[in-house]
Chains A and B, each alone.
Chain A
């Protein structure tokens, strides 16, 4: 396998895992249930190992590169799952199973109302817009790195991010209570 020895390769892989492991794991947990995330995480590491020579040298580029791998691995896992779903879907009426565990954070008892409003607003946005915002806020990427993950130009990513922020703000304003709303405080009703 060329000039790099197994040990040097393994060393590079360890460095890569230290760099991208946690961000990729979080990326997956944000987009699927915990069991699938852990399963796909192993797939992503395997692809990273096989494609170690393709990993960008600069750390700021390696993370978005790994997100692209993660997205593709997740797509393949979900595709396989949908395939099984179509196959198995017909028997659910006969023997409905108990509900599976909810994905992490799906129903958090101490979610603040602000988070719930954001979650709802995100679902109202176009999928593209929502994903740009997730990459920006959750994965903490800036538009040049978002461009790598989404395979678009840096310019397009900057525009898309700008528009998505504006659309999210508009959605949040829509759901926010109007200024002259009726407020309930300690049993009393006041108009402000």
Chain B
């Protein structure tokens, strides 16, 4: 790094909002770890189902309530400070259907889903003509706007690997290079598809 760079870095560090944030330290991190373990005891990771413990209220539940209250307070203040919270919108191109030329869709596997640059769960809030507007509820991979518009799947000309979007229904959507992926990657948010997405992103 050049001296010039060192100076710039030092200058930036002087504006670091966390420069006076006290470290949690080993004890604090240990506490976080204990809390995590108490929340996840008997809960095996990524899809396994070995949770035979009786249902219990996690210790963080009251904290979650407080956090939610704070978040709501922040949400009330934010529009005042920011002058409105218009959702961001991005458009995705329709599936390219490349797989059809090579003889149809391959069996859907978590690896195919894991390869998606963008993956998200969303609810269809409007279908106007050919344009479908999805309200994104959960980002599973990549950067995704608050709302995504796509072209309605045309059953007569498409490769039949897509699903027509129905207003009010929930979908899982994968995209590569700004185009929605067909071949079963994008589909209704069923337990089966959700299991594949969970396996792919395990988040």
B-contacting residues of A (Cβ < 8 Å)? 1, 10, 13-14, 17-18, 21-22, 25-26, 29-30, 33, 35-36, 38-39, 41-42, 45-47, 49-54, 69, 72, 75-77, 79-82, 84-86, 88-89, 91-92, 96-97, 99-100, 103-106, 108, 112, 114-116, 118-119, 122, 133-134, 136-138, 151, 165, 168-169, 172
Contacts and interface: CB of A to CB of B under 8 A. Distances in A.
A38 B32 CA distance: 10
Contacts, number: 176
Interface in B67-83: 67, 70-80
Contacts of A92: 76, 79-80
Interface in B101-123: 117
Q: Specify the main secondary structure of chain A where it touches its partner.
A: helix
Interface in B1-58: 5, 8-9, 11-21, 23-24, 26, 29, 32-33, 35-37, 39-40, 44-46, 48, 50
Contacts of B29: 17-18, 21-22
The 8 closest A-B pairs by CB, nearest first: A105-B17, A137-B12, A85-B75, A118-B15, A115-B14, A115-B15, A39-B67, A35-B70
Nearest to B35: A42
A70 B19 CA distance: 19
Given A22-B23, A114-B14, A165-B8, A50 B146 contact: no
A19 to B, nearest CB: 10
A79 B60 contact: no
22 contacts: A17-B33, A18-B26, A21-B24, A36-B74, A39-B67, A42-B35, A42-B60, A46-B39, A47-B202, A49-B40, A49-B45, A52-B45, A76-B139, A79-B139, A82-B78, A82-B85, A88-B72, A88-B76, A89-B84, A97-B73, A137-B16, A138-B13
